[in-house]
Structure 1
């Protein structure tokens, strides 16, 4: 049920962070259920990556710019375009538009995202513990996935899948906690 009395935003613009965090978290959980071996890579993951992980995060990032939040703008738009580019890498290769990336190329792709995320992790040290957990586990996830592609060791990828579930669920928690804390005007779920 949607509240009939919305919580007023201080600057007239609602907080886009919960949208971005939930979009990132839910898409991450679904992809990492695949990585952990629960089901094959399928259109459910790709569609989620394009429309929720991708587009919703880009929208959240654009709104963060309106709120003058450089960290939120950079993080949400970047990870939104990460999801779009990942879906593009997979689909363009399958459709025969371009050669699918080699394992070495995927290791470079995932590794550079890991380095980018490490840089953002340092920004979270001035933010909440919840965001530190999200970004810290995401750094680990990117480097584990890069290591899987660099070595060809599928057990690293399976372990990364379980670690990615922690990352995804922590982002969902942070998003829902932000919504509930805002709606109730008090700390319902702590963010640290």
Structure 2
């Protein structure tokens, strides 16, 4: 047996260098921009239209699912769970809005305010336990998940009670949530590009 073969057989540890990019900024930006746009609507600035639904379908939805799959490949359970879940949240939200508009056979699928409140409340619970996970992460990520938890519960309460004032407050709080995610995304991109802390996270 040659020495090379013996050396190969004696190898115990193989170190693999991860050269893939960080998918988190993609997920955070898709979430943040879509959230800002939706909550400008919730705050009363404009009606729910093609801009919000298209962003929810593509950037907030498909974009975050892609980021979640990339996080899975990197072995990041938190990132994979968060981005994939919120991507599917946006896709399900677009479906909730559009399905009842597909014709008479689909009108019975329209949600009552109580149904929608339950949907939002469950997302609030999910986000609350994800927020607990961020206590081991950066302060910027903690702000994103804390404000998102508050947003979901405000939206759930506003829909359940049929209270436009709560929904408007939720809109302004949601704008803050979206911009906090954009901040976290840009911080990661710029800090990596410049090789130093440009934006504190």
Quote the residue 1:115 is aligned against.
125
Structure 2 SS opposite 1:126? coil
Q: CA deviation at 1:171?
A: 0.1
Quote the residue 1:152 is aligned against.
162
Q: CA deviation at 1:22?
A: 0.3
Quote the residue 1:48 is aligned against.
55
Per-residue CA deviation, residues 72-130 of structure 1 (Å, 9 max, x unaligned), is 00000000000000000000012232521110100000000000000000000000000
- 1:20 corresponds to which of 27, 42, 60: 27
Quote the residue 1:139 is aligned against.
149
With normalisation by structure 1, the TM-score equals 0.93
Please say which structure displays the higher CA radius of gyration. Answer: 2
Mark the runs of 5 or more structure 2 residues left unpaired by the alignment: 1-16
Q: C-alpha root-mean-square deviation of aligned residues, in Å?
A: 0.8
Q: CA deviation at 1:12?
A: 1.3
Quote the residue 1:72 is aligned against.
79
Quote the residue 2:200 is aligned against.
190
Quote the residue 1:35 is aligned against.
42
- 2:66 corresponds to which of 39, 59, 62: 59
Looking at structure 2, the residues matched to 93 and 125 of structure 1 have their Cα atoms a distance apart, in angstroms, of 40
Looking at structure 1, the residues matched to 141 and 147 of structure 2 have their Cα atoms a distance apart, in angstroms, of 10
Looking at structure 2, the residues matched to 101 and 45 of structure 1 have their Cα atoms a distance apart, in angstroms, of 19
Looking at structure 2, the residues matched to 85 and 99 of structure 1 have their Cα atoms a distance apart, in angstroms, of 13
Report the count of equivalent residues.
182
Structure 1 SS opposite 2:109? coil
Looking at structure 2, the residues matched to 158 and 65 of structure 1 have their Cα atoms a distance apart, in angstroms, of 36
Which stretch shifts more, 95-104 or 83-92?
95-104
Quote the residue 1:178 is aligned against.
188
